Every structure is written in C-alpha cells, then in structure tokens.
Amino acid sequence: MGRHKEWRKIAKRERRRRIRTLAAKQEEQLYNDENFIKEQELIEKLMIEQIEKSNKEENEKWVLAERVSLIQWLKLQREKERMLQQHLEEEARRKLEWELEQQKKKIDEEKIKAAQEELKKKQEIFMENLDKFLSGDADEPPSELKVIRETRPSAELCPFFFKTACCRFGDQCSRNHQYPGISKVLLATNFYTHFGLSNANSNEYDTDIMLEYEDSETYTEFQDFFHDVIGEFEKFGKITQFKIIYRSFCENVSSYLRVLRFARFAIIMRNT
C-alpha cells in the first residue's frame, strides 16, 4: 500500500512537469511566430507614439506655462520700473519745489530785510525832521505828519467827531472820522470826572442821591481843577485857547443814552 502512494505521487509530479514543458514550448513557439512579433512591434510603436504625444503635450503645456510666467515677470518688472521712475520723478519734483520754496523764502527774507532797512532809514529821517521841527530849526513838520487818516473815506463826516473829536461808536461809526497826523490842538478826553457831573441826571434807582449836593459845589470844584490844570499845561508852552466842550446830549434822562457819560467833558488846548 505504501509503495502505491509513493508511485502516484511521482506520477503526478511527472505529469505537472510535462504540462509546464509543453506550455513553455507553446509560448516559445508563440513568441517566435512572425505575426506575433509584428503585433508586438506595432503595440510597442503605438505605445511609443502615445508616450511621445503625451510628452509633446506636456512639453507644450510647460512651454505655455513658462511663457505666461515670463510675460507676468516682464509685466511685473515693467511695473517696478514704472513705479521706480515715478518715485524718482516725485522725488525730483519735491526737491525742485523745496529749492524753489527756499529761493522764494530767501528772496522774501531779503525783501523783508530791505523793507526793514528802508523803514528804519525813513524812521531815522522822520525823527530827525521831527526834532528839527520841534526845536524850531524847520518851519514845516515832516511830510509823514501831514497825512490825514480816515476811517470811512467814502462816507460823510461824523458831525460829533468833527466838533469834539469824540464819538460814542468809535471807529465802528458808520460815518467818516478824520484823524490828522499832526495838529496844534491837544485833546484830552475824559480828563475830568466828578460825582456831581456823573449824577446830574435823575438816577433810575435812587432819585434822592443829589438832594444833599448842590450845583454850585460842582462848579466851584471844577474852577479849582481848571486853575490847577492851566498851571501844569503852561509849563510846556504858551496856551492860546483852553476850551471845555460840554456834550449836552449826555444829559438825556433815557438810560440807553447814558453810556455817553464817559465823555461828558473834553479839553481842547492850543499852544504856540
């Protein structure tokens, strides 16, 4: 029994060997067949063509991508060059503007300096002529003092300012005020104030404020003031006229007009 199993085992192995040998011979014969060789060559040729075509397409894609990248790079370089050129032009423009500004500033400084020197010279000449006029060496005053300054040249003259050289509105008056450069008249506004003058009108809060104060006292005290002032003014020159201007419109009892009391009296003095 044992020998039979061993024999069957050997027979099966031999059978498999013969089958493999036959298959190998058939395959070798198949490879050696001319049609098979042509078919394989055709297949290889097709595969090569397909590979070349694929490589060509990939190469074209790569070339296209490289071209696009090159175009973008060139565009970027041109943009950089343009921005650099623009920056250089801007810097040049700023530098030119700064140089022009410095030149203009220097010219303005030179003009201001020249104007100041000219003004200084005119001031020195003016003071020299003024000293000559004040000392009696010249008959005419400096020409700068002969100019009349007007607040509103196109408007009519203010009658109050023309008569008294005072106006309740000051330079804000709608009429014209003329200020002479030089005059022989010395005007002292608000030079004398007194309780009796300030409360001469009826007081809207206390109507009895002037009951114990008489007008004669106001006049007597004003005479004392007059003689004291005359003596002081005569120390500086001969007085040809000493005039007290009383602004009667300030005596109005209306409260809205009493703001003019600050200029109730103005002293005008003329000397030789």
Q: Over the stretch 62-110, which tens digit does the pLDDT of each residue have?
A: 999 999 999 999 999 999 999 999 999 999 999 999 999 999 999 999 9
Q: What is the mean pLDDT of residues 263-270?
A: 43
Query: What is the reported pLDDT for 262?
Result: 35
Reported confidence tier of residue 21, pLDDT bands at 50, 70, 90: confident
Burial class (CB in 10 A: 0-12, 13-18, 19+), 266: buried
Reported confidence tier of residue 147, pLDDT bands at 50, 70, 90: confident
Mean pLDDT estimate for the chain: 77
Site of tokens 């198949």: 30
Reported confidence tier of residue 254, pLDDT bands at 50, 70, 90: very low
d(CA 22, CA 28): 10
Query: What is the reported pLDDT for 10?
Result: 80
pLDDT at 271 over 70: no
Q: What is the pLDDT of residues 182-239, one digit of tens each?
A: 777 676 766 776 665 555 554 445 555 555 566 677 778 778 888 888 888 787 777 7
Query: What is the reported pLDDT for 83?
Result: 94
d(CA 26, CA 20): 10
Query: What is the reported pLDDT for 36?
Result: 66
pLDDT at 38 over 70: yes
Closest CA to 230 of 239, 219, 221, 222: 239
Report the Cα 227 to chain-centroid distance in Å: 60
The rounded percent of the chain whose pLDDT value lies above 90 is 26
CB 186 within 8 Å of CB 169: no
Instruction: Name the more confident of 176 and 7.
Output: 176
Instruction: Name the more confident of 167 and 113.
Output: 113
d(CA 116, CA 155): 34
The domains of the chain are located at 2-74, 184-271
Reported confidence tier of residue 263, pLDDT bands at 50, 70, 90: very low
The region, left, alpha or beta by phi > 0 then psi within -120 to 50, assigned to residue 149 is beta
The rounded percent of the chain whose pLDDT value lies above 70 is 74
Reduced to 3 DSSP states, what percent helix, strand and coil does the chain have, rounded to the nearest 5?
Answer: 65, 10, 25
Instruction: Name the more confident of 265 and 75.
Output: 75
d(CA 199, CA 215): 11
